[in-house]
Protein backbone atom coordinates (compact mmCIF):
# COMPACT_ATOMS: atom_id res chain seq x y z
CA UNK A 1 0.00 0.00 0.00
CA UNK A 2 1.19 3.51 -0.88
CA UNK A 3 -0.25 6.28 1.29
CA UNK A 4 0.33 9.76 -0.16
CA UNK A 5 0.20 12.45 2.53
CA UNK A 6 -0.23 15.94 1.13
CA UNK A 7 -0.26 19.09 3.22
CA UNK A 8 -2.62 21.70 1.81
CA UNK A 9 -1.25 24.72 -0.05
CA UNK A 10 -0.36 27.97 1.65
CA UNK A 11 -2.98 30.35 3.09
CA UNK A 12 -2.64 33.93 4.29
CA UNK A 13 -2.72 32.59 7.86
CA UNK A 14 0.32 30.41 7.08
CA UNK A 15 2.15 33.33 5.55
CA UNK A 16 1.48 35.46 8.65
CA UNK A 17 2.57 32.58 10.94
CA UNK A 18 -0.72 32.50 12.83
CA UNK A 19 -1.92 29.59 14.92
CA UNK A 20 -5.06 28.17 13.37
CA UNK A 21 -6.75 24.84 12.94
CA UNK A 22 -10.51 25.19 12.98
CA UNK A 23 -10.56 28.50 11.07
CA UNK A 24 -11.54 27.79 7.48
CA UNK A 25 -8.89 29.78 5.60
CA UNK A 26 -8.64 29.72 1.81
CA UNK A 27 -5.61 29.02 -0.35
CA UNK A 28 -3.67 32.09 -1.45
CA UNK A 29 -1.94 32.47 -4.82
CA UNK A 30 1.18 30.64 -3.63
CA UNK A 31 -0.97 27.83 -2.24
CA UNK A 32 -2.66 27.36 -5.61
CA UNK A 33 0.75 27.21 -7.32
CA UNK A 34 1.94 24.59 -4.83
CA UNK A 35 -1.12 22.44 -5.58
CA UNK A 36 -0.46 22.77 -9.32
CA UNK A 37 3.11 21.51 -8.82
CA UNK A 38 1.82 18.47 -6.92
CA UNK A 39 -0.79 17.89 -9.64
CA UNK A 40 2.02 17.51 -12.17
CA UNK A 41 3.93 15.14 -9.87
CA UNK A 42 0.92 12.89 -9.36
CA UNK A 43 -0.53 13.01 -12.87
CA UNK A 44 0.31 9.36 -13.60
CA UNK A 45 -0.88 7.92 -10.28
CA UNK A 46 -4.25 6.20 -10.15
CA UNK A 47 -5.72 6.53 -6.65
CA UNK A 48 -8.07 3.95 -5.20
CA UNK A 49 -9.36 6.36 -2.55
CA UNK A 50 -9.02 10.07 -1.74
CA UNK A 51 -9.52 11.54 1.75
CA UNK A 52 -9.41 15.14 2.92
CA UNK A 53 -10.16 17.04 6.08
CA UNK A 54 -13.36 19.09 6.13
CA UNK A 55 -11.44 22.35 5.71
CA UNK A 56 -11.67 24.28 2.41
CA UNK A 57 -7.90 24.63 2.17
CA UNK A 58 -7.52 20.83 2.08
CA UNK A 59 -10.54 20.17 -0.15
CA UNK A 60 -9.50 22.89 -2.62
CA UNK A 61 -5.93 21.54 -2.74
CA UNK A 62 -7.30 18.08 -3.55
CA UNK A 63 -9.56 19.47 -6.29
CA UNK A 64 -6.63 21.23 -7.97
CA UNK A 65 -4.38 18.15 -7.73
CA UNK A 66 -7.10 15.88 -9.12
CA UNK A 67 -8.50 18.29 -11.72
CA UNK A 68 -9.96 16.54 -14.78
CA UNK A 69 -9.95 13.20 -12.94
CA UNK A 70 -13.10 11.67 -11.53
CA UNK A 71 -12.63 10.81 -7.88
CA UNK A 72 -15.02 10.79 -4.97
CA UNK A 73 -13.41 12.93 -2.25
CA UNK A 74 -14.20 11.56 1.21
CA UNK A 75 -14.14 14.24 3.91
CA UNK A 76 -13.25 12.96 7.38
CA UNK A 77 -13.39 15.19 10.45
CA UNK A 78 -10.77 13.03 12.18
CA UNK A 79 -8.07 14.56 9.99
CA UNK A 80 -9.02 18.17 10.64
CA UNK A 81 -6.20 20.22 12.12
CA UNK A 82 -5.98 20.61 15.89
CA UNK A 83 -8.71 22.82 17.39
CA UNK A 84 -6.79 25.58 19.15
CA UNK A 85 -9.79 27.21 20.79
CA UNK A 86 -9.10 30.77 21.98
CA UNK A 87 -5.62 30.66 20.38
CA UNK A 88 -7.09 30.47 16.86
CA UNK A 89 -6.00 33.16 14.41
CA UNK A 90 -3.32 34.65 16.66
CA UNK A 91 0.48 34.74 16.57
CA UNK A 92 2.45 33.19 19.43
CA UNK A 93 3.32 36.69 20.70
CA UNK A 94 -0.37 37.64 20.76
CA UNK A 95 -1.28 34.44 22.59
CA UNK A 96 1.51 34.94 25.12
CA UNK A 97 0.32 38.51 25.75
CA UNK A 98 -3.44 37.88 25.81
CA UNK A 99 -3.43 34.53 27.62
CA UNK A 100 -0.17 34.32 29.62
CA UNK A 101 -1.39 31.63 32.04
CA UNK A 102 -2.88 29.43 29.33
CA UNK A 103 0.20 29.89 27.15
CA UNK A 104 2.48 28.87 30.04
CA UNK A 105 0.39 25.78 30.76
CA UNK A 106 0.34 24.84 27.08
CA UNK A 107 4.13 25.15 26.79
CA UNK A 108 4.78 23.18 29.99
CA UNK A 109 2.19 20.45 29.41
CA UNK A 110 1.73 20.43 25.64
CA UNK A 111 0.34 16.89 25.45
CA UNK A 112 -2.43 17.18 28.01
CA UNK A 113 -3.36 20.87 28.27
CA UNK A 114 -6.23 22.00 26.03
CA UNK A 115 -6.53 25.69 25.14
CA UNK A 116 -9.95 26.91 26.37
CA UNK A 117 -12.64 25.90 23.84
CA UNK A 118 -10.04 23.75 22.05
CA UNK A 119 -8.65 20.23 22.34
CA UNK A 120 -5.55 18.71 23.90
CA UNK A 121 -2.77 17.16 21.85
CA UNK A 122 -3.71 13.73 23.25
CA UNK A 123 -7.27 14.17 21.96
CA UNK A 124 -5.93 15.38 18.62
CA UNK A 125 -3.59 12.39 18.29
CA UNK A 126 -6.36 9.95 19.27
CA UNK A 127 -8.64 10.88 16.39
CA UNK A 128 -5.79 10.76 13.87
CA UNK A 129 -4.71 7.34 15.14
CA UNK A 130 -8.30 6.10 14.72
CA UNK A 131 -8.41 7.39 11.13
CA UNK A 132 -4.99 6.03 10.15
CA UNK A 133 -5.64 2.59 11.58
CA UNK A 134 -8.83 2.44 9.52
CA UNK A 135 -6.78 3.32 6.42
CA UNK A 136 -4.34 0.50 7.13
CA UNK A 137 -7.23 -1.98 7.05
CA UNK A 138 -8.02 -1.11 3.43
CA UNK A 139 -6.82 -3.43 0.69
CA UNK A 140 -5.90 -0.67 -1.73
CA UNK A 141 -2.75 0.16 -3.67
CA UNK A 142 -2.70 3.99 -3.69
CA UNK A 143 -4.46 6.28 -1.24
CA UNK A 144 -4.28 10.09 -1.23
CA UNK A 145 -4.80 11.98 2.02
CA UNK A 146 -4.91 15.79 1.80
CA UNK A 147 -4.73 17.30 5.24
CA UNK A 148 -2.75 19.55 7.61
CA UNK A 149 0.76 19.83 9.00
CA UNK A 150 -0.16 18.76 12.52
CA UNK A 151 -2.06 15.73 11.23
CA UNK A 152 0.84 14.61 9.05
CA UNK A 153 3.36 15.00 11.88
CA UNK A 154 1.07 12.90 14.09
CA UNK A 155 1.04 10.19 11.43
CA UNK A 156 4.85 10.29 11.44
CA UNK A 157 4.73 9.89 15.24
CA UNK A 158 2.42 6.90 14.83
CA UNK A 159 4.87 5.33 12.39
CA UNK A 160 7.70 5.92 14.89
CA UNK A 161 6.13 3.43 17.30
CA UNK A 162 3.63 5.99 18.62
CA UNK A 163 6.35 8.17 20.12
CA UNK A 164 4.48 11.47 20.43
CA UNK A 165 7.71 13.37 21.11
CA UNK A 166 8.66 12.66 17.49
CA UNK A 167 6.03 15.25 16.52
CA UNK A 168 8.69 17.94 17.04
CA UNK A 169 11.37 16.09 15.04
CA UNK A 170 9.77 16.69 11.64
CA UNK A 171 8.93 19.76 9.60
CA UNK A 172 6.15 19.88 7.05
CA UNK A 173 5.71 22.75 4.64
CA UNK A 174 2.67 23.73 2.63
CA UNK A 175 2.46 21.54 -0.45
CA UNK A 176 4.84 18.89 0.91
CA UNK A 177 4.11 15.39 -0.35
CA UNK A 178 5.13 12.38 1.73
CA UNK A 179 4.79 8.74 0.75
CA UNK A 180 4.24 6.16 3.48
CA UNK A 181 4.47 2.50 2.52
CA UNK A 182 2.75 -0.40 4.23
CA UNK A 183 4.23 -3.71 3.10
CA UNK A 184 4.22 -7.15 4.74
CA UNK A 185 3.00 -5.62 8.00
CA UNK A 186 5.82 -3.05 7.94
CA UNK A 187 4.98 0.65 7.97
CA UNK A 188 7.63 3.19 6.97
CA UNK A 189 8.16 6.70 5.65
CA UNK A 190 9.48 6.29 2.12
CA UNK A 191 10.00 9.87 0.97
CA UNK A 192 9.13 13.55 1.48
CA UNK A 193 9.14 15.95 -1.46
CA UNK A 194 8.76 19.75 -1.16
CA UNK A 195 6.28 21.52 -3.43
CA UNK A 196 8.79 24.09 -4.64
CA UNK A 197 10.72 23.02 -7.71
Task: Count Cα neighbours of 126 within 13 Å in the Cβ-side half-sphere.
Answer: 7
What DSSP state is assigned to residue 5?
A: E
Given the residues 8, 88, 119, 148, select the one marked as catalytic: 8
CB 56 within 8 A of CB 26: yes
CB 23 within 8 A of CB 13: yes
Given the residues 10, 13, 29, 81, select the one marked as catalytic: 81
Beta bridge partners of 193: 177
Strands 49-52 and 142-147: parallel
| Residue 8 annotated as catalytic | yes
Residues that are catalytic? 8, 81
Amino acid sequence: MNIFLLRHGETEHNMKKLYYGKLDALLNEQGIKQAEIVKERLKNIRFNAVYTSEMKRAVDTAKIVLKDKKYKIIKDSRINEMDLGIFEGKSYKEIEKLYPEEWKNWCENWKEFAPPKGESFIQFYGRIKSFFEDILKLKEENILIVTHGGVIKNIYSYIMEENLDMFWKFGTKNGDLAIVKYEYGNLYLDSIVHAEK
